[in-house]
Each structure stands twice: as C-alpha cells, then as structure tokens.
A and B are shown apart, each in its own frame.
Chain A
Amino acid sequence: MHITQGTFSFLPELTDEEITKQIQYALDNGWPCSVEFTDDPHPRNTYWEMWGLPMFDLSDAAGVLGEVNECRKAKPEHYIRLNAYNPNYGKQTIALSFIVQRPSDEPGFRLERTESNDRVIRYTLHPYAADKPHGQRYNGQQ
C-alpha cells in the first residue's frame, strides 16, 4: 500500500531534480531544511528520527540533497522525509514536508475493531510492518 503524507502527497514520487527545486524554493524563502527517517508508517507517528541536525544558513539545494542521499544510502528501506521549517514570527512551524524515499515493499494496514462499552465499536489502524520489532521491519533492513 502506497502511503502518502505531507505536501505533494497526491503527486507521483518526485524525482531528484524536482526535489532539488522544492528545496531551493524552501531555501529561497529562508526555511531551513532537515531530513528525517522512520520505519513506523503509522500516520499518527509525527516524531520521526532526525538525520543529523537541521541545516541552517544554506543557500543552495545541493547541500540538502547531499544529506538526503547520505540518508538513503544508510537507510535504504526506511521512509525518509524532508522538512522545511518556517522560522518567521507568527509561523514558526513546518512549512513544507514531503516523502523522498519509501521502502520497496509496503505491506499496509489492517483495521482493528475493539468492542467498547455498550457494544460500541472503536476502530484503529495497525500497520503490518509494526508487528516486527523496530529495526527489523521492511526486509530486515536497519
């Protein structure tokens, strides 16, 4: 199952050239970029692991794309996303965030029904990948 999240989630995968243009757009707006990865695909998993510190004071996209590629090399079967942070007063939040890599095989989610009080059914999503321990999901790749 093709998991989408963030900006451009309705588009096909961005090519490296397109990613470069997005990074450049962010940098031109003064938004520092950062790279994050995870192997927990749950949509409510907001806090991904950071790949290095956020990159401040950059002016060209090549440096950020270099970090994306480093992360891809080290985590070939993880989800990797790129964040751009808008530091302006009144915003101070992520302005742009999109997935730049996904595992080759994404098993998807199952729907879990929980009986609650008074025969109420509560629904939740459970990622199949999360059945395995952290670090062994997605073809056992770190």
Chain B
Amino acid sequence: MTPPDRLPGSGIPASRMGFGMSSPGRNAAGRGEPEENGDEEQTLPPDAEVDLAKDRAETGIDEVFNALDNDLVGLAPVKGRIREIAALLLVDRARARFGVSTSRPNLHMNFTGSPGTGKTTVAMRMADMLYRLGYLRRGHLVSVTRDDLVGQYVGHTAPKTKEVLKRAMGGVLFIDEAYYLYREDNERDYGQESIEILLQVMENQREDLVVILAGYKDRMDAFFAANPGMSSRIAHHIDFPNYTLDELEDISKLMVRAEGYCLNPEAEKTLREYLQRRKDQPRFANARSVRNAIERARLRQASRLMATDHSVGKAELITLIPEDFLGSRVFAETNGETPIE
C-alpha cells in the first residue's frame, strides 16, 4: 500500500502540498466551496416570503402521499399523523431559511396495532417520506427483531446492538415486536442492555437515525410501563386501527388486481361473506389473512383448471369464481376447528 518511492516523500511537511495542481482528491474530498446547500446558506430577509406549496412540490412528497392513499386502505389516523409530521418538517425548512433556529424535532415513533394492519408497510413509506423531506440522509429501512439486537452471552449484546445501529444510521431502524426486548420475568435478561444502548442513541444521535418500534397494543403498553425512559423518548405513539369489513373488501380487491386476477360478481359476494366470517374467528390477521385467503383461492383455481378436460382461455385463467373461495374451511359448518393460516 505504501510504495517505496513514497518514502522520501514522507518528510514533506503538510504546508508544502498543493503546488497549484488540481488533484482529484480535492474534488472528491469536497474541500473548497460547499456545493450543496448553497442557497440555504443565505438567510432570507425578514420581509421575504416563501412559497410552501412550491417547497412541497420540490420534495416530491405528494407522490408519497398519493402512494399512501392509493395503496393503503383506511388507516385514517395514521395518514393524518403522517401529514402533520410532513407539514412540520416543511415549515421547519422554511423557518430555517429565515434563519429562525429550530431544534430538531424528535421523530422516534411507536406503531401499535393488531397483526396485519400495515405497520411495516407504513414504516417503509415513512423512511421514504423523511428522506424526501431531508430529515434523513439515506432513507433506508433496517428491519430487526430481538434476535438481531440481543446477544446470547455476556458481552455479546452491546456489539450486536451497536452493529445494527450502525447499519441503520441515516435511515430508519424498525424494531418489530419490540416488547420482546424486555422480559420482565428475567431481570438479568440481556434485552435490558440493548434497551439502554438504544435509548442512548435515540437521545444523542437524533440526527442520524429514526427508531420505530412496533408491536401489539397491550404488550407495548406493558413494555413502556416497564421502561418509562423509552416511552418519553418517543414523540409519536400511533395506533393502527383494525380494518372494517368494507376496508378489508377494498384491500382484497387491490390484492386480486395486483396479482393479475379478477373476481366475477358472485365471487365478490362470496369473498365478502368469507371476510365477514373470517373476521370473527380467532387469529385473524387483517390484511395478512386476506392475502392468505387469496393465495389459497389461487391454489383452488389452479387445481380446478387442471381438472377440466377442455382448453382454457385467458378469461378463465384470470377469473376467480365463488367455488374457489367456498372450498375454504371458513365456510365449513363445523366451527369447532380454527382455520389454518
């Protein structure tokens, strides 16, 4: 790495560098004038006005909002909070241009809700949105669970947690099932160590990453009761409501279309009844259950088509009919057994 001809050069004092030659290192190192943020360096006069709508258009944030509205059914409280956060960040940017100093808002979040209500999906959208608004530098999402953070023996946890934090720098750290980090029945559990490191980073390196915790409502409440420091460091506690029957129907239609299928009118009715019945059964996982139902309907459709002795056309290949759903155990009258996910 150090070629021999460099040796005499080791004696050159640093002051002798730069004989007017343009070295590639100069540009790569970004020395000289700061190219980016060039216009933000100048403070606007107090009587100037900024066009917030234009700022908003420049960030491309509307694309994220449109995608949110189109791809995610329901979730009104969640979308409302996301819009509030976006507005705050946009206003903060405008304020900064007038030279009004603002402390960096705390954007650590906690998503609670039943399974399949879209917590992970929203977290991904959130990372994208925060990146577009300039709050995050990279905007990637690192999704982890207890296994990735907590070690198996003494001294194993800290390096593991720190490595995950390093990977998440500049983006969003999404901790799924975060309540597993704390085991109240074992006070020597290594999870506590992991929580302490997390807290420290959440407090001191707010500009480097956003931490999003996710989990079921009741368990997260118990988790925060045991770790009050964690609760107070999270500014946004967002609850994801369960989907209503109509919303589930919309979701199923979106999914069917995304998979390149369509439902005939009778199948739509059957699907609605399926959802109605499935909703009241145990282990219902909202959108995830809907996806599974459609996957199984595809299986049944495929075997139905294979069983026919005539040739099939495109219409038959893409259409799901009531029989594909009626085969489900949900429609079996014996309600004693629970459906398989």
User: Which residues on A are within 8 Å of B, measured CB to CB?
Assistant: 1-14, 17-18, 21-22, 25, 43-44, 46, 52, 55, 57-64, 66-67, 94, 97, 108, 125
Identify B2's interface contact among A8, A21, A25, A44, CB under 8 A: A44
Q: Is B138 an interface residue, CB under 8 A from the partner?
A: yes
CB-based contact A21/B29 at 8 Å: yes
Chain B residues closer than 8 Å to A6, beta-carbon distance: 1-2
Chain A residues closer than 8 Å to B166, beta-carbon distance: 55, 58, 63-64, 66-67
CB-based contact B167/A58 at 8 Å: yes
CB-based contact A5/B1 at 8 Å: yes
**Segment from B9-17, B39-47, B258-266, B268-276 that makes contact with A:** B9-17
| Beta-carbon nearest neighbor of A42 in chain B | B2
CB-based contact A9/B6 at 8 Å: yes
CB-based contact A4/B137 at 8 Å: no
Identify B9's interface contact among A9, A12, A44, A57, CB under 8 A: A9
In the assembled complex, the Cα of A21 lies from the Cα of B26 at a distance in Å of: 12
CB-based contact B23/A10 at 8 Å: yes
Number of interface residues of B (CB under 8 A): 33
Chain B residues closer than 8 Å to A18, beta-carbon distance: 29-31
Contacts known (A8-B29, A10-B17); A62 close to B1, Cβ less than 8 A: no
Query: Count of A-B contacts with CB under 8 A?
Result: 95
Contacts known (A11-B17, A21-B30); A60 close to B10, Cβ less than 8 A: no
CB-based contact A62/B29 at 8 Å: no
Q: List 28 contacting pairs A-B, 8 Å CB cutoff, sorted by A.
A: A2-B12, A2-B13, A4-B12, A5-B6, A6-B1, A9-B6, A9-B9, A10-B12, A10-B17, A11-B26, A12-B15, A12-B17, A13-B14, A14-B29, A22-B29, A43-B7, A52-B159, A55-B163, A55-B166, A58-B166, A59-B138, A59-B167, A59-B171, A60-B171, A63-B167, A66-B166, A67-B166, A97-B1
Q: Is B165 an interface residue, CB under 8 A from the partner?
A: yes
Chain B residues closer than 8 Å to A10, beta-carbon distance: 9, 12, 17, 23, 25
Identify A60's interface contact among B25, B26, B137, CB under 8 A: B137
CB-based contact B170/A60 at 8 Å: yes
CB-based contact A8/B25 at 8 Å: yes
| Beta-carbon nearest neighbor of B201 in chain A | A66
Contacts known (A2-B14, A11-B23, A21-B30); A63 close to B1, Cβ less than 8 A: no
Chain B residues closer than 8 Å to A7, beta-carbon distance: 25
Q: Is B140 an interface residue, CB under 8 A from the partner?
A: yes
| Beta-carbon nearest neighbor of B29 in chain A | A18
Contacts known (A59-B140, A59-B170); A3 close to B14, Cβ less than 8 A: no
Contacts known (A2-B13, A6-B1); A60 close to B138, Cβ less than 8 A: yes
Chain B nearest CB, measured from A123 CB (Å): 11
Chain B nearest CB, measured from A83 CB (Å): 9
Q: Is B169 an interface residue, CB under 8 A from the partner?
A: yes
Chain B residues closer than 8 Å to A66, beta-carbon distance: 166, 169
Chain A residues closer than 8 Å to B250, beta-carbon distance: none
Identify A57's interface contact among B11, B159, B165, B167, CB under 8 A: B167
Chain B residues closer than 8 Å to A4, beta-carbon distance: 6, 9-10, 12
